[in-house]
Amino acid sequence: MTIHKLFAQRAFLPGGWAEAVLFDVDGAGNIVGVTANAAPGDAERAKGPVLPGMPNLHSHAFQRAMAGLAEHAAPGIERGGGRRDDSFWTWREVMYRFVATLTPDQVEAIAAQLYVEMLESGYTAVGEFHYLHHAPDGQPYADVAEMSRRTIAAAQATGIGISQLPVLYGYGGFGAQKAGEGQRRFLNDPSRLLRIVETLKASHKADPQVRVGVAPHSLRAVTPETLDEVVTGLTALDATAPLHIHIAEQVKEVDDCVAWCGRRPVEQLFEIQAPDARWCLVHATHMTDAETSALAASGAVAGLCPTTEANLGDGLFPAEQYLDAGGRWGIGSDSHISVSPIEDLRLFEYGQRLATRRRNVLAGEGDAASVGHRLYQQALAGGAQALGRPIGALEVGRRADLVVLDPDHPAVATLPPERLLDAVVFAGNRNPVRDVMVGGRWVVTEGRHRDAEAVQAAYTTAVSQLLA
């Protein structure tokens, strides 16, 4: 077996920063040895401090090409009281129009550009919450999994690990309301959705870089029966596969859920399912104290997307209470209005500071008294769990997914190790990521992805067609 040896003068291991670390990586891209206080010997030398790559647990790839298109009062949108009525719901109308003509080739080109940006910013895995399944007229492609194959192809070409989560979308609102025209490309019943899952699993069963799960879109888009059918069907195919759902993003969504069933969304999900460590509740933004405690106790992951949630005017997650209760969480770039784990972690803490008028709100004890340390470490663990892959830590048995920080970055160069993650998260806007390895292969060197130029050229062509 070929073993690649990588030596780091400083690396962030599960127990914290360690010095003189020698990593052994096998030909399949798994870490098979980690030795601290080691001699480098003939190992390749990492050019700076080494961190585990960050999992990005929530992505809608095609929305990358929409970033910047919905930051004005959009013409053609019905507004009740004038220009200030733009909301999540008017943004969604812009998105539906954008999605109407997208082709598989365009989706693949956009996803590749997005994944290059993710890798260059330090994300090494993505959860693709994928609802754009069908042709513009709503008919399935000849291969019902066509669109999912395109995001997976983009992941494979760029080198990012992927958990593909085909979305169950059946209805336009709570209580099995008929879906609208803008939603026709998203619709599947549970059996066709499970066929997509099965097809993808069969195609990628030997690939450690690809995992397949399921994402019921939201309680708005499924019924308790279709949700149950898809959860049961997925469990039969793969008892540990990830299950993601949008849960309580908007106050209107909470109100509509209460009007329909008498319970709030998180409360309702716990009533009809038993969310556990397989589950990721994306945008668990609006929760009562009881819901927050129940989610924290369940072992499920809260999927947080602070920059998108800010962009869409969603609200603030009850972070302090949830973290105090030991709740698990990770981050996603969701609509890709920003593609930076640093910006999402920073905004997560800053939202709490602005709301409470205190500092270091999400600090913990010991090493985790450093906010950067605690946030980075918990986002790694929650992200890895939510994506259902052996990632998120530099230890034996995990994938060799790692980020080398730029030793010449002013903060990285000057601050002591115990402040390094605070430096990364809070000190400035220059990207501190120098090199990125995924599954044992370098995909970013000196800040640049190996195919950045070609991928961007294809992206520019795709988007200029779309906006023509």
Q: Write out the residues near Zn ion by the rule CB under 5 A.
A: 334
User: E strands, 231-289, where?
Assistant: 243-246, 279-282
CB of 305: closest distance to Zn ion in angstroms?
7
**Phi, psi (deg, nearest 5) at residue 129:** -85, 95
CB of 225: closest distance to Zn ion in angstroms?
23
CB of 298: closest distance to Zn ion in angstroms?
20
Instruction: Identify the burial level of 467 via C-beta atoms within 10 angstroms of its C-beta, where 0-12 means exposed, 13-18 middle and 19 or more buried.
Output: exposed
User: Using alpha carbons only, how large is the chain's radius of gyration in Å?
Assistant: 21
Residue 371: Cβ within 10 Å count: 24
Q: Which is nearer to Zn ion, 121 or 308 (CB)?
A: 308
Q: Pick the catalytic residue: 283, 286, 409, 449?
A: 283
Q: Which is nearer to Zn ion, 17 or 129 (CB)?
A: 129
Instruction: Identify the burial level of 92 via C-beta atoms within 10 angstroms of its C-beta, where 0-12 means exposed, 13-18 middle and 19 or more buried.
Output: middle
CB of 247: closest distance to Zn ion in angstroms?
10
Q: Which is nearer to Zn ion, 91 or 174 (CB)?
A: 91
Would residue 334 show up in a list of annotated catalytic residues for this protein?
yes
CB of 186: closest distance to Zn ion in angstroms?
12
Q: Is there a contact between 325 and 296 (Cβ–Cβ < 8 Å)? A: yes
Q: Is there a contact between 226 and 174 (Cβ–Cβ < 8 Å)? A: no
Q: Pick the catalytic residue: 334, 401, 406, 422?
A: 334
Instruction: Say how many residues make up the chain.
Output: 468
Distance, CA of 317 to CA of 325 (rounded, Å): 14
**Phi, psi (deg, nearest 5) at residue 366:** 60, -135
CB of 60: closest distance to Zn ion in angstroms?
6
Token pair belonging to 317: 């997650």
Q: Which is nearer to Zn ion, 21 or 215 (CB)?
A: 215
Could you tell me which of 352, 392, 325 has the C-alpha nearest to residue 56? Answer: 392
Q: What angle do CA 251, 312, 124 make, to 5 degrees?
A: 115
Distance, CA of 374 to CA of 371 (rounded, Å): 5
Partners of 281 in the β-ladder: 245, 302
Would residue 283 show up in a list of annotated catalytic residues for this protein?
yes
| Residue, CB closest to Zn ion | 334
Q: Which is nearer to Zn ion, 38 or 386 (CB)?
A: 386
Distance, CA of 96 to CA of 63 (rounded, Å): 11
Q: Which is nearer to Zn ion, 172 or 364 (CB)?
A: 172
CB of 287: closest distance to Zn ion in angstroms?
17
Distance, CA of 187 to CA of 168 (rounded, Å): 7
Q: Which is nearer to Zn ion, 245 or 393 (CB)?
A: 245
Name the residues annotated as catalytic.
283, 334
